[in-house]
């Protein structure tokens, strides 16, 4: 069973959230374990270091997905377009930074080579 969501109480200085929305690059697939070196982590350090009101960063990346294609294999996810409203359009999200499509390009290129 999976939890449908997680609610986080942010410190008072957090006024807004920026959602990073994308695939494995956004998600941090194969990043250093427990080092917080994913692009979302690096981006989050800058506003967290500020005094006064600031931004939170939400990582809405899912490794292996494609922009419009729902894949049947277990290692690929639901199409990004299908989960956009669920994972990126959240309360208090004021900006969305998309990074999606590398799997579409890579998989299409591989299919072209095999044909």
pLDDT at 113 over 60: no
pLDDT at 115 over 60: no
Q: Indicate whether 1 belongs to any domain.
A: no
Q: Indicate whether 7 belongs to any domain.
A: no
- For 39-96, the pLDDT digits (tens) are 888 888 888 888 899 988 989 888 888 888 877 666 676 788 888 998 889 888 999 9
| Residue 18 belongs to domain spanning | 14-114
Burial 11-32 (b: 16+ CB within 10 A, else e): eeebeebbbbbbbbbbbbeebe
Q: Indicate whether 78 belongs to any domain.
A: yes
Q: Indicate whether 35 belongs to any domain.
A: yes
Residue 109 pLDDT grade (very low, low, confident, very high; cuts 50, 70, 90): low
Q: How far apart are the first and last CA of the chain?
A: 40
Q: Check residue 75 and report its DSSP letter.
A: T
Q: Indicate whether 9 belongs to any domain.
A: no
- For 20-38, the pLDDT digits (tens) are 998 888 888 888 777 777 8
Residue 110 pLDDT grade (very low, low, confident, very high; cuts 50, 70, 90): low
Among 58, 60, 56, 57, which residue's Cα sits nearest to residue 24?
A: 60
Q: Indicate whether 3 belongs to any domain.
A: no
The predicted structure's pLDDT at residue 82: 86
Give me the CATH number covering residue 45.
3.40.50.1110
Alpha carbon distance 87, 25 (integer Å): 16
Q: Indicate whether 109 belongs to any domain.
A: yes
Alpha carbon distance 89, 115 (integer Å): 39
What total of structural domains would you count in the chain?
1
Backbone angles phi, psi at 95, to 5 degrees: -150, 145
Q: What is the largest CA-CA distance in the chain?
A: 57
Q: Indicate whether 28 belongs to any domain.
A: yes
């Amino acid at each position: 069973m999976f939890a449908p969501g997680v609610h986080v109480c942010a410190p008072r200085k957090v006024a807004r959230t920026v959602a990073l929305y994308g695939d494995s690059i956004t998600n941090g697939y194969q990043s250093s374990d427990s080092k917080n070196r994913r692009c979302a982590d690096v981006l989050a350090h800058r506003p967290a270091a500020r005094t006064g009101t600031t931004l939170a960063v939400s990582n809405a990346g899912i490794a292996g997905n494609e922009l419009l294609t729902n894949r049947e294999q277990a290692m690929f996810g639901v199409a990004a377009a299908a989960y956009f409203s669920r994972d990126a359009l959240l309360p208090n999200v004021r900006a969305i930074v998309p990074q999606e499509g590398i799997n579409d390009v890579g998989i299409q290129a591989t299919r072209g080579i095999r044909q």
